[in-house]
Amino acid sequence: MGRERIQILDGGMGTTLESLGHSVYSDLWGSELLYTNPSAMQSIHKGYVEAGADLVETCTYQLTPANLQSYLSSSSSTTNSSEEYKEQSSSSSSSIIRSSVHVVHDSFHEEPGVVFSCGPYGSTLKPGAEYSGIYPSPYGPNDPNDPSDSSETKTDKVNYFSTTEEGKAQEENAIRHLTRFHLDKLICLLDDDEGEVWKKIDWIAFETIPLLYEIKAIRRCMKTLNEIARNKYTNGHSQYDGTEKQWYIKKFWITCPFPNGQHPQLTPEGKNISIDTLLHTLLNPHEDQEIPNGIGINCTNPLYVPQLSSQFTKQLNKIRRAKQEQPVFVLYPDGGQVYDVHTKSWSTPLDSPGNAMEWSKGVLEVVHSIEQDKNDDDQYTWDGVIVGGCCKTSFGEIKALKIGLDELYGMRFANNI
C-alpha cells in the first residue's frame, strides 16, 4: 500500500484564470467563462490533468442558480417579457451549471475524476465571508440592516448564535435556509432519467466552510439529495439500507479554512472552536445528516498545515467507531499569500514558500506523516489522502506534487526490492 492511496487534486482556479489574463472581478469570479468561453475554461482543466491531477474541480465554487440568472439577465438583450425570460434564464443557468461537469470530464484522456465544487454561502456575499462566517439573517445571526462597517454606530457582527432557546431556534432556521441554498445548486445536476451528468461526478466538494451550523446544513443537504437521487434513478423502488454502494449516491467532502491557524467559528465566549468540536460536528452520526466521505483543510497558509493535520489525526483516532468507515483526509492549502476580501488584493508574507518545489515539499511532508499513522491493528487512521492546492497555486505546484509523490513512493518501492 502506498501511492495508490493518494490522489492529486488540481490547484487554484480563480487565481490561475487571473494569471492567464482573464478577469475575475465579476460577481462570478470568472466562472462566466463557462458561458462566454468554455474552451478557455477547459484549457485550464486540461493543464491540470497534464500536470498530474487525478481529480479536477468544476469552476462552480461561487455559482448559484440565482447569481447565474442575474448575470444572464444583465448580459442579455432579449425582448421577451419578464416572465418568459425568467423561465428561460432559469433553464439556462441550470444548463450552464451542468455544462461545468462536461467541461471537466472531457478534459481527461482516460479515467476522468470530476469533482463538483460548492463554496459556502459566504462566498456569494460582498465582501466575501468564507474566512469570517459573518452571515446576515436568515443565514446567520446578524441583522442585514445594521449600519455599514464604516459606521461608528455599527453593531458588532458575530458568527455564532446565543445558547438561549431563542438562539437555538434562530440557528435551526439558519440551518434550514443554508440547506436550501446548497440543495438548490445541486438539484440542477439531477438531469435526465439516465443521469448523464450525475454519473460523471466522482466527488462533491464543499469547500472553505467557515461555520459549524453550515456543516450541519451541508450534511442535511446531502442526506436529502441522496434520497432524491435514489428515488429519481430507481423510480422509488430502491430498498437501499445504507450499506451497499450505488452509483447515484455521491461521495462528498467538507473542508474548512483556518485563517491564522484557527477555524473561523467562534464560541459565545469569543474563542475559536477546537478541532475536537469540529470533527464531532463533521462526523457524529445523525439520522437526518449524511456523514462526509472526506474531511480536511483548504485555502489555508501552508505554515499552519503540519500542526492542524496532526490535530485532525489525533482527534480522529479518539473518535474512531466500529462499523463506521474512516474518512479520506483532504488537503489543499493555498500558496502562502494573504487575500484581503475588501481590497480584493494579495500580499506575500516573507515566510511564504519561495517556489512550487518548496511549496510541494512542505505539503508532501504532511502527507507522508498522515500516511505513517496507523492504529494498534496496523490499520491506517485515514482511508486515503487527496492532496492539491488552492488560491495562488497553479500548474507548477501540481506538477511538483506529482513529481514528489512519484519520487517518494518510487524510492520506497525500490528500497523494498
Residues placed in the known binding site for Zn(2+): 299, 390-391
C-alpha torsion sign, points 39, 43, 44, 46: positive
Residue 43, helix vs strand vs coil: helix
How far apart are the C-alpha atoms of 44 and 16, rounded to whole Å? 8
The grid cell for 129 is 465571508
Cite the annotated binding site by residue number: 299, 390-391
The neighbour count for residue 118, using CB atoms within 10 Å, is 27
Residue 327's closest CA among 353, 295, 373, 359? 295
Residue type, 208: T
Residue 99, helix vs strand vs coil: helix
Contact 51, 360 (CB under 8 A): no
Give the strand pairing for 338-340 and 345-347.
antiparallel
Residues counted in the chain: 417
How far apart are the C-alpha atoms of 182 and 94, rounded to whole Å? 14
| Longest CA–CA separation in the chain, Å | 73
Contact 60, 54 (CB under 8 A): no
How far apart are the C-alpha atoms of 69 and 95, rounded to whole Å? 11
How far apart are the C-alpha atoms of 74 and 77, rounded to whole Å? 8
The grid cell for 234 is 430507481
Contact 97, 188 (CB under 8 A): yes
C-alpha torsion sign, points 209, 160, 124, 392: negative
